Structure 1
Amino acid sequence: MIGYERIRMDNYYETCLTSIQMLIEERNEVKALELLDQELSMPYVPEPYFSNFKALRDTLRLDNAPNAKYFDDMDQISDALLGNDNLKHKALISLERMNLRAVIDDLQSILMDKRIDDWLKKQIVFYLMDQSIDATLTIHLKSGIHELDILKLENPIGSKVYLNCLDDLVSTLESDNPSLLMLCIAELDQQVLEYFPQHFDSIASNDVLKRVKGYLDRG
């Protein structure tokens, strides 16, 4: 049964690839990108299809202003957030320097776009917090749909819960194993950022330490 399911899955992705390649040959890049974005937004795409889809997307979605350090158009930014890593980075630094109050409706659309990576949406929320934007926005993340009152959000790195866990890690590891401490701090940062913007009541330093030691044992 598993073999049959695998064959059926391969047939589906082979059909998708063929359809996308035909669209590209017909110079219908807009429709091809639409299908690529749709497939790449799925929670799981098996290899080698994921890499094939990503490579095709990166040949179609290009930087139309490569000599410019920033985008100055929200359509370009929205498009770049669906592109390769360089385009995503350029989109973020472009947003960071903008007056986000002037583009709040565009940002609401971006925050609800299921095709855009969660980490990009969260970074945009941090930019909104930095500019003290007085707005309530809705964000679509893998953890669900959340309504955010921007002014009431707290940066998780630096929160009381975070600092308490950090203090425990420092007191336990700073003298005996500073290298392990740095790994634990990185893991703590990762955990709170993954959980954001949801509120968390506590993070046990023992759990952070246990997880890091698990990574090291597997490595």
Structure 2
Amino acid sequence: MKLSREITAFMTRLGHEFDRPELLLRALTHPSISTPSRPDNQRLEFLGDRVLGLVMSEALLAADKAAREGQLAPRYNALVRKETCAEIAREIDLGAVLRLGRSEMLSGGRRKMAILGDAMEAVIAAVYLDAGFTVARNVILSLWGDRVSLVEADSRDAKTLLQEWAQARGMALPAYAEAGRSGPDHAPQFTIEVRLENGAVARASAGSKRQAEHQAASALLAQLDDAE
């Protein structure tokens, strides 16, 4: 099968060259452009979600042999959620090679978190079907990088901890606001500001608003710890 330069370049960014590239093409096909002879990526998305889940479960158990289930579960959720998958997709510019219907393309489908997250899971399934679990695991761990080791060690995330800090002192809930956006459309960087009723404030930037909110909350918690 002859592949376009864009697909070949994407395989390089992904870190896997397909023996059966038709699997990759299916993984990149959104339901908005599917036909009976060109199936969409939804079934692959279903499988990829399970492959990703197993890889991350193994990785977390290996990274912290003393962690309890209650500590592992939120770390796992942070690594496999759609937002994280979409961030990985943006990092390898998956949006550039998505096969979308015209209406979805015009509405910014190449940048939508849900579409990118679903496609990332479908691509994982395509790698798994093309080369097996070991190769899929290696690709996933390479793409996720140090996220596994840096994921929140506490069983509660930073936003929850900051909320609890404020409530314990009789304050209103922390307020989050978008303070800026930069970067290209396919890989935006969001700057989020979090502010407490007492005037304490912190900012952080990330590839998704949710991640930026968590990082801003973590930065503000660090400020509060230093002040106490």
If the TM-score is normalised by the length of the shorter chain, which range does it land in?
Answer: under 0.3
Say which structure, 1 or 2, has more relative contact order (CA 8 Å, 6+ apart): 2
- Report the TM-score when normalising by structure 2: 0.26
- Report the TM-score when normalising by structure 1: 0.26
Q: Which has the larger radius of gyration?
A: 1
